Amino acid sequence: MKRCPWARHRLAIGHHDREWGVPVKNDRKHFERLILEGAQSGLCRGTLLAKRAHYRRAFDGLHPSKRGFNFAGSASIYAFMQAVGMVQDHLAGCSRRKAGGA
């Protein structure tokens, strides 16, 4: 099976084949991905995946409501994506539209 180049080790292969790039449809998984992807920056993905259980303990099982995210649904996640420039939603004519973003 052909995979992305970063999927070389057991945990990374499993993550690649079952999770990475797969649409998420529940708040707990959205929160987990937000935490893990934020932590992954600068780390080997395999290192992060090996520490997933530690993140679940540190963040109360990655239940968003236990961490104060009572309304962490798709609208909250999309707002986060807008805030960090993952999506470009400046209106046509806005001076920031061409300044960057996704």
Please say whether the beta carbons of 99 and 62 come within 8 A: no
Q: What tokens appear for 100 in the block?
A: 């960057």
Q: Which amino acid is at 13?
A: I
Q: How far is it, in rounded angstroms, from Cα 65 to Cα 18?
A: 25
Is this prediction's pTM over 0.75?
A: no
Q: How far is CA 86 from CA 24, 47, 54, in A?
A: 16, 24, 27
Residue tagged 């995946």 (tokens): 49
pLDDT digits (tens, 9 = 90+) for 70-85: 665 677 777 777 766 6
pLDDT digits (tens, 9 = 90+) for 5-42: 888 889 988 888 888 777 778 877 877 887 777 777 66
